[in-house]
Structure formats: structure tokens, C-alpha cells
Amino acid sequence: MSKLKVGFVGVGLMGLPMVRNIAKKNYPLVVWNRSRKNLKKINKQKIEVCQSIINLPDQCEVIIMMLSNDKVCLEISNKLVKKIKKNQILIDMSSTKQKTAIEIEKKIKSKGGYFLDAPVSGGTLAAKIGKLAIMVGGEKKIFEKTKNLLKSMGSVTHVGKTGSGQVAKLANQAIVGITIGAVSEALILTEAAGADPKAVRKAIKNGFAGSPILEIHGKRILEKDFKPGGKCSTQLKDMKNIIETANTYKIKLPLSEKIKKLYEIIVKEGKSNLDHSALYLLIKKLKKHDSNL
């Protein structure tokens, strides 16, 4: 069976390794990116470069977007929809609001196309090794048609109707943000009490408190290595979307609200481009009089 020809929009921090993994599975691939910088890093023998976004739908069957925020996703989808063809598929792997996914789908469906929202988790490390967790919302038959393509980038799960992928990603990010805070506090407590934080992390990581956050971000914190895998600014965007979605359904998420406030502070301090594990730096310097945060 011939492989789907893929168009990819957004060859950035996450998009570049995702493109490389799709190419490794020998999918015909054409990419577009607003900046030309990362296009110099792709293998031109395996990957075509589209010069104009408006022409991309003419060159592929499936289009994947991996973009920075809702505004950009809406902007790019508005351009793509002008030339989307009947039965063409648009997959948005960016992290957006649920309502953004639903809005994009309506536009694509009006032209006879199909849409999946398929945000990812795992950061740049998982993107590089093709081990992203991919959460997909949309029609099951379209999911089945594109599942093997998505598997080239990681593990794939269909989680429900359109917008459900974004809800799953918000659930993921609530756990990530809150757990980074918990790991930070645990290591700060360890240091303050005079125990060896490296030894404590080793002791507890195979117990009930063990998690990828303790493993990966705990190591980052101990080594003071805050080169971004996932940025503080991105985590803040996700926390805002979590609270907005909670408000839509009239539920209260007090831990997520607290973490959102902390990420707002760290971004205001100019640390938006540090890894989101840099939340540790803020919590470590908080004083007793900051407890009303």
C-alpha cells in the first residue's frame, strides 16, 4: 500500500525532530516554515521544501501543523483552508484550546476535508527518539487512516471526538505542572534539612513517588540545567488553557490555579525561555510572606 504524501507546517523546536522521524519511515514529505533557519537542517534528498504556504495543499494528502499557539494555528489554517480539497486531512499537533480545534474543524469540513487534533507530550527528547505520547481527537475512521503516520512519531491513542485530544493534553499538562512543583518542593526540603538531594532522588524514584518528572526534571534541577525541552512560557500557556477550560465547565482546580500563578511570576521575571523545570528557581527563593500566592 502506498504511503500518504505528507505536508508539514512548523519546523521548530519540536517540529524539526518530528519531520525527521516521518522521513525515516519513508513517507513522501514536503515542509513549510515561516523562518528559513531550520529548513537548512533538513535532508533535502528526502524532504521537499514548499516555498509558499498557500501551495502546500496541492502537494500532499495529509497536512500536519506543529505551531506555537492558538493564534498562529488559526492564522495558518485560514490560509490552508483556501485550497483544501475534498477528503484532504489536516492534523493539528500543536497544543491549543478545545474550542480552537472545534473552530478549525468547522472550516475544514466546510470544504469537504477532515480534521484531527493530535497534541503531543514528551518534549524535545521524546520528539527526537520518536517516543512522543500522541492524543488524538476526531473521527475514528480518519484516525485509523492516519494512525501509522502518527506512529512514526510516537505512541498514539484515540481519545474521543474533535477537541478531545486537546483536553487530554490539558490533563497531561496539569499533571506535569503540578508534579514539577512537587518535585521542586521535595528537593528544596531535602536541601534545607541537610540530606543529600541526589541520594534522596535515587532513593525515592523507584518507589511510589517515582515518575518521569522526578527522573528527568529532578535530574535537570539537581544539575541546574534549564536548557528548554518545554519552555516556561509554553507551560504557562497550557496552565491558562487548563483554567479557562475548567471555568467553561464550572469546575474548580485549585492546584492548577496555584501553579498558573507561579508560572506567571517566572515568565514576568524574564525566564520564559527556560525549561519549565525552572519553576524550582522561583519556589526556592519564595519567602514566608509570599505564601498568599
Q: Give catalytic residue positions.
A: 169
Pairing of strands 89-92, 114-117: parallel
DSSP H/E element including 154 = strand 154-160
- The answer to whether 138 and 159 are in contact (CB under 8 A) is no
CA distances from 237 to 66, 134, 228, 240, 286 (A): 15, 19, 15, 5, 22
Distance between CA atoms of 53 and 44, rounded to whole angstroms?
18
- The answer to whether 127 and 17 are in contact (CB under 8 A) is yes
Enumerate the β-bridge partners of residue 155: 133
- The answer to whether 158 and 142 are in contact (CB under 8 A) is no
CA distances from 207 to 5, 201, 204, 214 (A): 45, 10, 5, 11
